[in-house]
Structure 1
């Protein structure tokens, strides 16, 4: 079964910043296999992240529930370690790549992501991660390891239930589409033939390469076939291929350009060749191959231009994923209830004193 996020955990956690003496104060303790304190600082970190997501300050009762969540998290991780569950570094790295790719909506590796961050922000990946969520790359990966460990434990304990999830019927898929049809809108799309020559240590040569290709395309748009073939040769000085671009703010962000610049591309005519474009890392040019108007997708339409997954299959997979997530969360509750015994944890404050501690 594909791994899915357990909603009990948060992927992004903010750092607590400078620690006051009180942040080191233990307010709870987990002791399933070893004594592990939960400090006020750890709770403040989680509450801070949740409050940012909610857009408001949490109540004392909500903060108590958040502390319960931290206790449950540590109980499950200790139980997983007791059962010998160990997550390899390669699994964490792959999961990180999947996470980043899902955010960018295209497949990238950690190296690709680091290069993209460098080009757009002039920051290292470590600096960027710290600025975005208060954790270094190593700290963030350690958090992912905790997620994967807990998830593996739940799936091991509830394997039978999680493997018996039924696929939606044809009628259910079609009913889902009819109810949510207005959500399946494909925006205006332009298909480009993009040619990119990396600068590396040869900026002058890269510029000359793209200038020559731009002239060739301007003279004959059918030269795309030859240009694509040569880009696949060993030691080619450039890369070339098709690219589908949506008329959306997200697409502009992913391309690293203002929305105004993206709109200029959509105003170009089919067959029109761009001028030579310089970025921090390369020179490039493109040809507009095709333009498609926005529309509501039918069940037989492909979800992504140039892809091969129909909306019908997409909905089927989405419903299965929803059912899996629901089953996984139900399994999480069941496993947590089994572990949450008085001898396995302790909250160190009660009553008015506890409420006062949580009223920062």
Structure 2
């Protein structure tokens, strides 16, 4: 079953410092709009960074990843075109608000670092955000607005998923995320020497929460990436982790507080439950609805180009 294209899905691009080998080639066209082999190659590189390096040598898995990534790119373009045909459009005010909302999550310095880390320029970032905004508005109009969730459904879901709302040990932590290991080590040394961790995060971190001092809020095991849990949960409050490398970059964590297991009241998770139920209903509706949109779309995939798309190599 096709995976639901969630509202505001962000197609991850590769980090900077890479060489692409697919210049000038088109891997697909969707209603006349091209998808370049370069773009797919960069997305493939980022996706592969999440796996064991041996996966890159598994031709079948790499081919499956390429097709999955291309399918998501095609879906987004099909949805945007369908949105335009249905009369969904963004006002200048809506688009400006959308840009401002996402950009406000960064300081100017960390925003530029984020673009550099993902290997995109400002115009590419704006184009992607515009596409996401149109899709969000379209899905809201065609699907989300037509989904109702009753109090009975909410209570039933809560009772059936009590384990999900009984939290184990939690930590509240801050993080600093940077692209380079040397900078991460320097910042860790500064923080360990007594410099304000939140201020360092505001100045240097390229993560979205950097603007608020790197505050990740409270989280239990399994909510964040595994590397976050492994770095944070062994630490007592007030301690700073070693530098941690992930596919996102180089992290430094500081545990601010800890608390033991506890149950969460229904009223505290009602919005989350409503969102989950809506997503479940939306997934049921989405497949048939999207299939009808795809039938009307003009989609051409260059299988020869797709076959030869490879993830770009790092610059040494």
Question: Considering the TM-score relative to the shorter chain, is it more than 0.5?
Answer: yes
Deviation at 1:317, TM superposition (A): 1.6
1:73 to 76, 82, 88: 76
- 1:320 is displaced (CA, Å) by 1.1
Equivalent residue, structure 2, for 1:39: 36
Q: Tell me the equivalent position of 2:22.
A: 22
CA distance in 2, matches of 1:47, 1:247: 32
- Quote the residue 1:50 is aligned against: 47
Alignment CA distance shift 1:145-1:314 (3 Å) = farther
Residues 97 and 172 of structure 1, relative CA distance in 2, 3 Å threshold: same
Q: Choose 1 or 2 for highest CA Rg.
A: 1
| Residue 354 of structure 1: how far off its partner (Å) | 5.4
- Residues 136-176 of structure 1 deviation map (CA, whole Å, 9 limit, x = unaligned): 4453233122112112223323356x422334343542442
Q: Is the 8 A contact 1:129 1:136 kept in 2?
A: no
Contact 1:16 1:42 in 2 (8 A): no
In the alignment, what sits opposite 1:198? none
Q: CA deviation at 1:77?
A: 1.0
Q: How far apart are residue 43 of structure 1 and its match?
A: 1.3
Report how far residue 66 of structure 1 moved.
2.1
Q: Comparing both chains, which one has the higher relative contact order based on Cα–Cα distances under 8 Å and sequence gaps of 6 or more?
A: 2
Q: Is the 8 A contact 1:16 1:45 kept in 2?
A: no
Matched residue pairs, number?
234
**Given that residues 37 and 306 in structure 2 are in contact (C-alpha distance below 8 angstroms), is that contact kept between their aligned partners in structure 1?**
no
Task: Output aligned runs, 1:1-360, within 5 Å.
Answer: 6=6, 9-10=9-10, 12-14=12-14, 22-31=22-31, 35-55=32-52, 56-57=55-56, 58-92=61-95, 94-95=97-98, 109=104, 113-114=106-107, 124-158=109-143, 162-167=146-151, 168-177=153-162, 179-180=163-164, 182-187=166-171, 263=238, 294-299=259-264, 311-341=265-295, 344-349=298-303, 353=304, 356-358=307-309
Cα distance, 1:245–1:45 mapped onto 2, change above 3 Å: closer
Tell me the TM-score normalized by structure 1. 0.51
Structure-1 separation of matches of 2:110 and 2:140: 32
* TM-score (norm: length of structure 2): 0.57
Partner Cα separation in structure 2 for residue 169 and residue 176 of structure 1: 11
Distance 1:17 1:94 in 2: 31
Give the secondary-structure state (helix, strand or coil) at the position aligned to 1:23.
Answer: coil
Tell whether the 8 Å contact from 1:43 to 1:67 is kept in structure 2 after alignment: yes
Q: Using a 3 Å threshold, how does the CA distance of structure 1 residues 174 and 11 change in structure 2: closer, same or farther?
A: same
In the TM superposition, residue 40 of structure 1 has moved relative to its aligned partner by: 0.8
Structure 2: runs of 5+ lacking an equivalent: 174-214, 229-233, 240-255, 312-316
- Compute the RMSD of aligned alpha carbons: 4.3
